[in-house]
């Protein structure tokens, strides 16, 4: 009986844990994104960092995705979602780089 309860609890824990998946959509387009929209940043929230809004591409057109608060990752800083322009032999194109966390690098000065 005790063994069944332990197995049931373990199963419940596994099934109730959300699966985390990160989809990294990197693509190039020849359509420049519009200028960023002006956002009013809400009052700071302890333990969170503001991730500014950005233009996403949906159905061949740019759609504004509003900024949001995301939980802080200690020892890291947030790199916002952005479009980077590249100039190539066939003309300019834009590459979308999703927002992500990067480790802080502390350098000593001697």
Confidence of residue 97 (pLDDT cuts 50, 70, 90): very high
Query: What totals of helices (H) and strands (E) does the chain contain, helices first?
Result: 1, 9
CA distances from 98 to 1, 70, 80 (A): 50, 14, 7
Residues 102, 79: contact at Cβ < 8 Å?
Answer: yes
Q: Give me the residue label for tokens 């995301």.
A: 70
- Within 10 angstroms of residue 5's Cβ, the number of other Cβ atoms is 9
Per-residue model confidence as pLDDT tens digits over 54-87 = 999 998 899 999 999 999 999 999 999 999 999 8
């Amino acid at each position: 009986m005790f063994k069944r309860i332990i197995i049931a609890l373990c199963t419940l824990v596994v099934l109730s844990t959300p699966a985390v998946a990160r989809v990294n959509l990197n693509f190039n387009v020849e359509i420049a994104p519009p200028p960023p929209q002006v956002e009013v940043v809400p009052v700071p929230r302890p333990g969170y960092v503001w991730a500014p809004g950005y233009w996403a591409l949906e159905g061949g057109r740019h759609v504004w995705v509003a900024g949001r608060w995301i939980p802080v990752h200690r020892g890291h800083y947030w790199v916002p979602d952005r479009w980077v322009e590249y100039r190539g032999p066939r003309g300019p194109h834009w590459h979308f780089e999703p927002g992500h966390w990067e480790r802080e690098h502390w350098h000593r000065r001697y």
